[in-house]
Amino acid sequence: MRRNSLIAVLALALAAGAAGMALAQDGGKERGRGMMDRIDANKDGVIERSEVDAHRQAAFKELDKDGNGSLSFDEFNARADRMFERMDRDGDGKITKEEMPRRHGRGGDKG
């Protein structure tokens, strides 16, 4: 049970990190609005705790391809593979400093 909880927490942290990197790439404006639209289920312009919880559950369900309530290494790693592919803009199988999104004024270029 603890292992499953740890995997779930790591998957959600990975998803949150990916969202943060995506926000950093365009200054957060466009992607932040898209994220707000996805999480704000009742479209009142405010994200409530229940909406965050529902979004997290949906994100976990999306990762849990076999629907068994836990993430295998392969299920977890599939998300990391997709993130790597998005960051590897030139498709050479490597992520350079320039391809890394800027975070807190550090890293590669914004574009």
Half-sphere exposure of 54 (CA within 13 A, CB side): 10
- Cα dihedral 104, 17, 91, 77 in deg (nearest 10): 160
Who's near 65: CB < 8 A, 6+ residues apart? 75, 78
Which pTM was predicted?
0.51
Tokens of 6: 């740890």
pLDDT score, position 82: 86
CA–centroid distance for 101 within its chain: 13
Closest CA to 48 of 57, 56, 39: 39
**Mean pLDDT in consecutive groups of 10 residues from the start of the chain, 111 residues:** 59 59 58 84 92 92 93 89 89 90 52 45
| Contact by Cβ (8 Å): 32, 19 | no
